[in-house]
Structure 1
Amino acid sequence: MTRQTKSMSTPLAQARGLGSAKSGLNHWWHQRVSAVAMVGLVSWMVFLVLSLAGADYETALNVVSHPAHAAVVVLFIAVGLWHASLGLQVVLEDYVANEGVRLIAILAVKMAASVIAVLSILSVLKVAL
């Protein structure tokens, strides 16, 4: 039999001196910067898609192959997936209780976002070049 002893110290006293992980602010800052970047990128993409409404395939191909448009599409993909993976990581950290499952889920999200980003960017570059 094991005997459990209760501590007389408060939770604050137990936490004092442990320090911070110093990763929360960095994660928060990256999420805000990517959100601000997405405002401009989404605006450009909405303009681009609306300008292609009713256009044929060749016209769309010519527009997307323009270096400025291709660069914005690549940035939209990269920043959008980065922002999404940061947000999903926060959700997983907050709502998945099991540490092992949480770690696997976060790694799966990051891996999926990376694979989707690489394949999407390669597709845009294939059209643009």
Structure 2
Amino acid sequence: MSIRTPLAHARGLGTAKDGTHHWWLQRVTSVALVPLVLWFAFSLLSVSHADYEGFQHWLSNPINAGLMIALVLTAFYHANLGMQVIYEDYVQPEWAKYTALLVTQFVLFLLGIIAVVAVLKVALA
């Protein structure tokens, strides 16, 4: 028998109130990716027969470069959010979960930076 109330027993067992924010971020990035991917697909069709100079000319347009960078950053951030959910749900040892999260975040951040630099290099060349 304990003198603690049911509320005292339940405290600390619930959510950290971070799940809703994470869920919304996944949905927002998903919705943002739909028009970005459609723009990317149609854009690739329009420059599919172009050589490097033609593609560079197309990417030197600030709108195209901006949308390309937005696509890259949104895709990598969405991938990070999705991998975090997978690791939190399915990786059991806590050390393995945190290691996988840190490695994934580092790799996706590094790849995102490389992709943005590559887009800028082609666009500004």
TM-score by length of 2: 0.88
Alignment gaps of 5+ in structure 1 = 1-6
Deviation at 1:52, TM superposition (A): 1.0
Q: Which residue pairs with 1:4 in the alignment? A: none
Corresponding position of 1:17: 11
Gaps of 5+ in 2: none
- Greater C-alpha Rg: 1
Task: Give percent identity, aligned residues only.
Answer: 38
Aligned-pair CA distance for 1:17: 2.4
Aligned residues: 119
| Equivalent position amino acid for 1:33 in 2 | V
C-alpha displacement at 1:85, in angstroms?
0.7
1:74 aligns with 69
Alpha-carbon distance, 1:123 to partner: 1.1
After superposition, the CA RMSD in angstroms is 1.8
Which 4+ residue blocks in structure 1 deviate beyond 4 angstroms? 12-15
Shift of 1:126: 1.3
Residue range with higher mean Cα deviation, 94-103 or 119-128 = 119-128
User: Could you give the per-residue CA deviations for residues 76-119 of structure 1, whole angstroms, max 9, x where no partner exists?
Assistant: 00000000110011011111000001001001111111000111
- Give the structure 1 partner of residue 37 of structure 2: 42
1:3 aligned partner = none
SS of 1:44 mapped into structure 2: helix
Normalised by the length of structure 1, the TM-score is 0.86
Structure 2 residue 23 is matched with structure 1 residue 28? yes
